[in-house]
Amino acid sequence: MTTNTVQVPRSRRFAVGDSKPPTAERSWYTYVLAAAWILFLGVSGLFFWSIVSKSLPVWQKQAGTIITGTGWGGPYGGLPMIIGTLQTSLIALVIAVVVGLGTAISIVFLIPARLRLITATIVELLAAIPSIVYGVWGLLVLSPWMLAHFYPFLDSLGLTFLGSSNIATGPSILLASIVLAVMILPIFVSITREVISAVPQDLIEASLSLGATRWQVISKTVLPTARIGIMGAAFLALARATGETVAVALTIGTISKVQWHFFYPGTTIASWIATAFGEANSNDIQALMALGVILMVISLGVSLISRWFIARQRKILAKV
């Protein structure tokens, strides 16, 4: 997980291949490497092309309805899935950012060094857990718990206008969002941790020596200096949330309907593809491929933004 974020500075890069040995010396080594990367680039290119080309009929016939329509079959409408994807991943992001900021700050600044390694390890172990396990936990543990305790608790507070007393089934937008939040938390925490621990120590000491309290050091110096990188971490977590499939498929209920009531079932692009593929005919499959293209655009767009933020943060930290 963390290996993806480690960047080797350019200055350390060497270039043996650039010395251009005579052709005779290039030998099999060069050709084997070339075969590998050509295969890699070829398959990667094919990846995008395949999904796009399979969905082409949909884009030709009903490019508008696949984005704005709400029915499934006949013209295929992807609006419920798109809205659901945004809803679940944004709710998850809000939870993950609130909890994750506190977590990252605690790990870097507040807890004793002895505990730092173990908590960081625990958070990173959370990232290694397969998403299906989170899904199971959400469906078979968290959902019954919420039915038995959380919704009655809301009712007991007199918040019946939320409709919680009518909840009959466990799966809901809220449940899926909570499961997603738990899943994206480790990503957010590990990048945020890296970014805030890269804030130069003498800036922290400068604030302290101006009479700042510990919280002022964090809120006025550390977080502003690291804010771009934290945005990057948030967008990376968001990208992961938009693409998550089985954990959401198990916990959201998968109903093709624009759902504004978060205690009720809804759907997302990825979970809809996973659920609808089983009984799909060839037309359905084209529409699902089109949904796949939409998901690809959303997800890659978000991760592109995140990479841009993280690269900018590196430049900022290089300057201070």
For residue 277, give the DSSP letter: G
Q: Which two three-digit tokens encode residue 273?
A: 């593809």
Give the per-residue contact string, 153-182, with another protein (x = CB under 8 A; - = no): -----------------------------x
Which one among 212, 255, 258, 305 touches another protein, defined by CB under 8 A?
212
What span, in angstroms and rounded, lies between the C-alpha atoms of 248 and 184? 13
What span, in angstroms and rounded, lies between the C-alpha atoms of 289 and 177? 24
Interface with another protein by CB under 8 A: which range of 61-69, 126-134, 159-167, 256-264?
126-134
Q: Does 135 bind another protein (CB under 8 A)?
A: yes
Which one among 63, 94, 133, 297 touches another protein, defined by CB under 8 A?
133
Contact criterion met (CB below 8 Å) for 106 and 122? no
For the bound state, the minimum distance from the C-beta of residue 265 to another protein, rounded and expressed in Å, comes to 13
Which one among 262, 296, 312, 314 touches another protein, defined by CB under 8 A?
296
Q: Does 16 bind another protein (CB under 8 A)?
A: yes
Interface with another protein by CB under 8 A: which range of 136-144, 146-154, 160-168, 190-198?
136-144
Which one among 92, 123, 154, 184 touches another protein, defined by CB under 8 A?
123
What span, in angstroms and rounded, lies between the C-alpha atoms of 318 and 320? 6
Q: Looking at residues 256 to 285 of the shown chain, list those that interact with another protein (rule: CB under 8 A).
A: 270, 273-274, 277-278
Contact criterion met (CB below 8 Å) for 191 and 5? yes
Residue 151 makes CB contacts below 8 A (sequence gap 6+) with 164, 165, 167, 263
Give the per-residue contact string, 218-237, with another protein (x = CB under 8 A; - = no): -xxx--xx-x--------x-
Q: Looking at residues 97 to 116 of the shown chain, list those that interact with another protein (rule: CB under 8 A).
A: 98-103, 105-107, 110-113
Q: Which two three-digit tokens encode residue 200?
A: 């130069």
What span, in angstroms and rounded, lies between the C-alpha atoms of 287 and 271? 14
Q: Which two three-digit tokens encode residue 163?
A: 């409709």
Q: Which residues pair with 247 in a beta bridge?
A: none
Residue 97 makes CB contacts below 8 A (sequence gap 6+) with 188, 234, 237
For the bound state, the minimum distance from the C-beta of residue 203 to another protein, rounded and expressed in Å, comes to 6
Q: What are phi and psi of 253, to 5 degrees?
A: 90, -25
Which one among 61, 90, 119, 258 touches another protein, defined by CB under 8 A?
119
Q: Which is nearer to another protein, 163 or 307 (CB)?
A: 307
Q: Does 290 bind another protein (CB under 8 A)?
A: no
Q: Does 117 bind another protein (CB under 8 A)?
A: no
Q: Looking at residues 34 to 63 of the shown chain, list those that interact with another protein (rule: CB under 8 A).
A: 34-37, 39-41, 43-44, 46-47, 50-51, 54
Alpha helices, DSSP H only, in 76-172?
A: 79-105, 113-128, 131-136, 143-145, 151-156
Q: Does 297 bind another protein (CB under 8 A)?
A: no
Which one among 21, 71, 73, 74 touches another protein, defined by CB under 8 A?
21
Residue 265: name the closest of 275, 252, 246 by CA.
252
Q: Which is nearer to another protein, 254 or 259 (CB)?
A: 254
Q: What are phi and psi of 243, to 5 degrees?
A: -95, -5
Q: Is 281 helix (H, G, I), strand (E, B) or coil?
A: coil
Q: Does 79 bind another protein (CB under 8 A)?
A: no
Q: Looking at residues 239 to 258 of the shown chain, list those that interact with another protein (rule: CB under 8 A).
A: 239, 242-246, 249-250
